Amino acid sequence: MKRRDFLQQSGLTVAGTMLIPNFLKAFEMNRLATPVTGGKTLVIVQLSGGNDGLNTVVPFRNDIYYRERPTLAIPSEKVLKLNDEIGLNPAMESLKSLYDDGLVTVVNNVGYPNPDRSHFRSMDIWQTASRSDQHLSTGWLGRYLDANCSGSGCLPYQAIEVDDTLSLALKGKQVNGLAMLDPKKLYNQTQNSFVHGLANVKTDHAAGSDNLHYLYKTLAETNSSAAYVYDKAGKFGNAVHRTQGAYPATELGNRLKTVSELIQSGVATSVYYISISGFDTHINQPGQQERLLRQYADAVKAFMGDMKATNREQDVLLMTFSEFGRRVKQNASNGTDHGTANNVFLIGGDLRPGKVFNEAPNLTNLDEGDLTYTVDFRTIYASLLRNWLKADDVAILGQKFDTLNFV
């Protein structure tokens, strides 16, 4: 084994950082700090529950929209207009201002063939990038991590989910992303002497079982990833890097703030994942959805403002999706039921054209009362993987998709 390989392996996969001599640690940090994506970061915000796209991006000139939604439709004069056809929900003033700054791209009619209207199944499809008749046990970002594994190991923290548990999207075959609500909490969990001690136990490959080895490997990686992120984010002393940006005190606000702090501290993470819930609005939709959309828009504006202030606006791209949209026609409970195609927001990242990307939903060409998709969500993934993260989209998605020219 070459000395260099040995150093890399011992630093990354076996020992936790605490036991690595300083010269090695410096070596490890240097290597890890080299961004693998040309410094580009992708932030994904998932809206769980099926956000009603038609009341998010409102087709305010469309008679069918007003006819099918007698009590839910948003009056034309209240809509925050993006062009002469569609505009944003009035609760999204913050997003509108980002749009006016040229930072927001709206992609309409995103979906996939043979749509599934079950939350779980459709979310599976979005997270694994599978066909609707295919069941995969790895996520598209997990496979992105797999593709970045090298001879010296895999790096879980290249994709971080800001949460206590890990979504399928970040589970790969060889490596999983890291779930971490905040760096200090995870670090503390791994620092209790029992867990830390176990993380540093060397397991013998040859004897015992593969699965036991896998468990210890996962523990060691968790331990060293937690230490790496914590060290990195707390450059001076033990305080995690604090951003100057002001964020709303909401769950999403807090999580985007954590993302900002990790980005600013130079952690070599290229994908961040956050999900917020509550969009399953079967009953009394308006108040509920407006509250959530306002929280979303305000938090995203604070985040993008923070990115601009720290000169990272062009290197950070935020994507928002939901597992499906909702039916065109409202239901009897002043709400909407599960539907199909929906809109996707792409924010920041110096995109072209940075506007409304494609045609508004066609409400005359419905599939059993639901919107027909015109953009396959996997073409968006392919574009992000290939053009933004500079990754092998064909290997990760299992087939070639056209890329869209927004990046």
φ, ψ at 120 (rounded to 5°): -65, -45
Pattern 165-184, binding to other proteins, x per CB under 8 A? xxxx--x----xxxxx----
Q: Interface residues for other proteins in 214-273 (CB under 8 A)? A: 214-216, 218-219, 221-222, 225
* Residue in 168, 170, 131 with CA at minimum distance from that of residue 399: 131
CB of 159 to other proteins, least distance (A): 11
**Who's near 387: CB < 8 A, 6+ residues apart?**
403, 407
Task: Out of 38, 67, 101, 284, point to the residue binding other proteins (CB under 8 A).
Answer: 284
Q: Which is nearer to other proteins, 150 or 333 (CB)?
A: 333
Burial code of 346-375, b = ≥16 C-beta within 10 A, e = fewer? Answer: bbbbebeebebbeebbebeebeeebbebbb
φ, ψ at 3 (rounded to 5°): -60, -40
Q: Is 198 in the site for other proteins (CB under 8 A)?
A: yes
Q: How many residues bind other proteins (CB under 8 A)?
A: 60
* Residue in 267, 239, 258 with CA at minimum distance from that of residue 155: 267
Tokens 């709303």 -> residue = 248
Q: Which is nearer to other proteins, 258 or 275 (CB)?
A: 275
Q: Interface residues for other proteins in 328-357 (CB under 8 A)? A: 332-333
CB of 189 to other proteins, least distance (A): 5
Q: Interface residues for other proteins in 100-129 (CB under 8 A)? A: 119-121, 123-124
* Residue in 324, 295, 318, 241 with CA at minimum distance from that of residue 52: 324
Q: Is 135 in the site for other proteins (CB under 8 A)?
A: yes
Chain-centre distance of CA 63, in angstroms?
A: 35
Return the amino acid letter for 51.
N
Tokens 């997003």 -> residue = 95
Q: Is 149 in the site for other proteins (CB under 8 A)?
A: no
CB of 128 to other proteins, least distance (A): 10
List residues near other proteins by CB under 8 A: 48-50, 119-121, 123-124, 133, 135, 137, 156, 163-168, 171, 176-180, 185, 189-190, 193-195, 197-198, 201-203, 208-212, 214-216, 218-219, 221-222, 225, 275, 277-284, 323, 332-333
